[in-house]
Structure 1
Amino acid sequence: MNERAGRIAVELIEKTEAVVDPKTQKTKTKSRYTKNEYLRAILRVAQQQVAYRYLLADSWYASAEKLNTVLELGHDFVVALESSRTVARSEAERAQGRFQAVDTLVFPDEQPLRVFLRSIPQAVLVSRQVFTNRDGSQGILYLVSSDTSLNQAQLTTIYQRRRKVEEYHKSLKQNASMGKTPDTQANHFFAAILAYTKLEVLKLRHGLGHFRLKAKLYLAGLKAMHQELAHFTA
């Protein structure tokens, strides 16, 4: 995937519209725009900033509306699918409304299947990956791609590029406190991004990961606090 430098897009969700929950009759606030609308806008901004072939995303982004936007922009996608998502095995079955859940499909030799999603005009590939978790339990990941020329190994390799994004989000939340966003959302957001950037600089300089750096900083802070406390109590 070739990329050129440039800004892509960041959108902070502002909940400014008051609505009444029909079930609880309580008033709450919501954004003027849905996350789907924000994503489609971001994809169109990215179209002007980044040269890419595949959009990689988790199952939240696998709605037909989002995937069709990717196709309209001239790109392919490799995204995760919920096991309950339904597909048709052929165009004829789709026309007849004969759909089945992804987790009922049989994958011969663990190879991807060519199927049809609802509301997606072209055929797609669906693959199943079985993996073992750290606790010994097994998990299953279903992937869907608009690039029907890919094989199982290629699908897996391409989707694994998302791992760096997950590591980024995890470090941003746990080491830069992104998850503790107060009312001053914008200021806190950019402060967290700055903290993450500083951690990246320290990682490259000292060869230590974010979590180990955080632990060393905490330890240094605790030692300094203990010395200061000892000074006051002497």
Structure 2
Amino acid sequence: MCLAKCRDTDYIDFLIATPRAVTCTEAAKVQPDAPQPPAHDAFTRLLRRLEPDPETLWQEARPMVHTKGGVLVVDDSTLDKPYAEKIELVNRHWSGKHKAVVWGINLITMVWTDGDRITPVDYRIYDKVHDGLTKNDHFLAMLHAAKGRGFEPSCVAFDSWYSSLENLKAVRELGWTFLTQLKVNRKVDVARAGTRAVGEAAIEVSGTLAHLPGFGAIRVFRVVSRDGDVEYWATNDLAMDELARLTVAERSWSIETYHRVLKQCCGVERAQVRSARGQRNHIGMSIRAFLRLERNFFRTGVSWYEAKARIIREAVRAYIAQPLYKLT
């Protein structure tokens, strides 16, 4: 049997270094000089050969997290694929970036954060057409996987998409505290005044005890933004105050930072491979590339963007020192 000419770490290093083009051909072109460097077919076979498995991510992330404490945040993001007519996994999904339904691949991620670090510990690809699993199915699967790995977070945070009764009960059954957003038409009962939409109930900024039909007692907060928009947050921790809610909410925002860095620095949207298996492997290795940038950030204080810019800056400096294209 022939030995593989490239490994997953070779592809991950390529994702960290490349400024834009993410193709197997480009990965082969930038390989260091060697007697028999890997050709583009070697990287193509790599993406087809590996078994897509979030467990590989967890094995690398485990030393970077504390399973006791911290906040687990679950959210999804749409990877833009506007011209991908023949790429598998691509479907129509809502995009928060475009505020519209677009063509892309939906990635659901669970990250752990303590306020200083952002560490992805699990992920799923939403592909209901082929596996029949909904986003809520993936949400529950990641919760139980986290419990099996020994996580005991101080809170689990997620947006209103995942705030179904089944999901809220699942978090409670695991013995965890949740903080989630509620849509304005979610029915609650405040002070036994009758069930009504939370947007019509008397909810205080500091938090109001309410009864959520089918679940039980919760504490609801009314949050007014600077532009006047109103949001409603809910938790099963009845003693939570506004300061504690704000702390968890700020930490939950870290997953938005993670999504942005994953797209801008790790090339997660840019793979041109067509097969579903190849796309899954590319996405998994892009997340593992983020792990390396995040670890460097925590150890040195050099941001993800600066770390990537330094790689490109060295290449530019080397060219300026010995430019190839001149007018003679």
Q: Shorter-chain TM-score category?
A: 0.7 to 0.9
Out of 183, 192, 195, the position equivalent to 2:289 is 195
How many angstroms does 1:70 deviate by? 0.9
Tell me how far apart the structure 1 counterparts of residues 293 and 248 of structure 2 sit (CA, whole Å): 27
Out of 167, 179, 188, the position equivalent to 1:87 is 188
Higher relative CO (Cα under 8 Å, sequence separation at least 6) belongs to 2
Task: Assess, with a 3 A threshold, how the Cα gap between structure 1 residues 160 and 205 changes in structure 2: closer, same or farther.
Answer: closer
Partner letter of residue 324 of structure 2? Answer: H
Question: In the alignment, does 2:78 pair up with 1:3?
Answer: no
Question: In the alignment, does 2:250 pair up with 1:152?
Answer: no
Out of 133, 147, 165, the position equivalent to 1:33 is 133
How many angstroms does 1:30 deviate by? 4.2
Question: In the alignment, does 2:229 pair up with 1:165?
Answer: no
Partner deviation per Cα, 1:130-178 (whole Å, 9 max, x = no partner): 233xxxx344332100111112222222232213333222211221122
Task: Assess, with a 3 A threshold, how the Cα gap between structure 1 residues 174 and 138 changes in structure 2: closer, same or farther.
Answer: farther
**TM-score, normalising length from structure 1?**
0.74
Tell me how far apart the structure 2 counterparts of residues 205 and 90 of structure 1 sit (CA, whole Å): 50
Tell whether the 8 Å contact from 1:76 to 1:147 is kept in structure 2 after alignment: yes
Q: What is the aligned residue count?
A: 207
Give 1 or 2: higher helix fraction: 1
How many angstroms does 1:79 deviate by? 0.9
Tell me how far apart the structure 2 counterparts of residues 30 and 190 of structure 1 sit (CA, whole Å): 19
How many angstroms does 1:54 deviate by? 2.0
How many angstroms does 1:222 deviate by? 4.7
Paired-residue identity, %: 25
Give the unaligned 5+ runs of structure 1: 16-28
Tell me how far apart the structure 2 counterparts of residues 138 and 211 of structure 1 sit (CA, whole Å): 33
SS at match of 1:12: strand
Within-5 A mapping of 1:45-194: 45-49=145-149, 50-90=151-191, 93=194, 98-100=195-197, 102-108=198-204, 110-120=205-215, 122-132=216-226, 137-180=227-270, 182=273, 183=275, 184-194=278-288
Give the unaligned 5+ runs of structure 2: 1-65, 70-119
Tell me how far apart the structure 2 counterparts of residues 71 and 202 of structure 1 sit (CA, whole Å): 35
Tell me how far apart the structure 2 counterparts of residues 4 and 106 of structure 1 sit (CA, whole Å): 36
Please give the root-mean-square deviation of Cα atoms over the aligned residues, in Å. Answer: 2.9
